[in-house]
Amino acid sequence: MKAFSQATFLASSGSSTDMPPAGPPEIAFAGRSNVGKSSAINALLGRKRLAFTSKTPGRTQTLNFFELGDGARLVDLPGYGFASVPQAVRAQWETMVGSYVTSRDTLVGVVLVMDARHPLTALDTQLIHFLGDVRLLALLSKADKLTRAEQGRTVKSVEASLRTDVRLFSSLTRQGVDECRDLLERWLIQPTPRRSPE
Ligand code: GDP
């Protein structure tokens, strides 16, 4: 599958009502602002600047949809956790991201990007709660900032808390890039159907 090397921008959506119609399977990327989410997406897609980072706290937030080759999509969810973000923007984030992750039938999984030096912040945990039964990859970014021993300890502790796939990642050294791409391609080949609401 060549999905991750053929990405093109599809659409930006600023509200839960203007998303492109659901079609091919989608993998969404989430994470606190500044954790390295855009850098990780660009590294996985083999592109320099396909995903842009939002450096402006409080600006209108969007979900950005990318078409991958072979009938799949990547969705860049707006970052969270800007310290000074107004309550209205926070509420907008919750509505948009909440409605996307809970009702998008074609969502096959979420990659939660967390800084390897401080994973599982309160907001990350809140997002994981939101996700319910959605398949999850915890991607520990900026792994180059940790020693080997620290990397090992962090992976063990995150695995123990989440009981899901956990991978170290560095867009700087490219540690984990091929491994994550392979794992996500497997998600696309064998999507786990979402449990229907009870
Ligand atoms: P985003 O806000 O989550 O999309 O984060 P960015 O991708 O814009 O990255 C935020 C900052 O972290 C930038 O200054 C990047 O250069 C830096 N950064 C991103 N990935 C890495 C990484 O793997 N290693 C290191 N050392 N820095 C990184």
**What confidence score (pLDDT) does residue 90 get?**
83
CB 42 less than 6 A from any atom of ligand 1: no
Q: What separation in Å is there between the alpha carbon of 170 and the centre of ligand 1?
A: 9
**What confidence score (pLDDT) does residue 61 get?**
82
Which residue lies with its CA nearest to atom 19 of ligand 1?
36
Residue 171 to residues 6, 55, 143, 174: CA-CA distances in angstroms?
19, 18, 9, 5
Name which CATH class applies to 3-189: alpha beta
**What confidence score (pLDDT) does residue 198 get?**
44
Q: Which residue ranges of the chain lie beneath pLDDT 50?
A: 58, 197-198
Q: Do the strands 107-115 and 26-31 form a parallel or antiparallel pair, or are they unpaired?
A: parallel
CB 61 less than 6 A from any atom of ligand 1: no
Q: What is the pLDDT of residues 12-28, one digit of tens each?
A: 998 888 899 999 999 99
Q: Measured from the CA of 35, which atom of ligand 1 is nearest?
A: 3
**What confidence score (pLDDT) does residue 117 get?**
98
Residues 66, 76: Cα–Cα separation, whole Å: 8
Cα-Cα-Cα-Cα torsion 170, 175, 181, 186, nearest 10 degrees, comes to -120
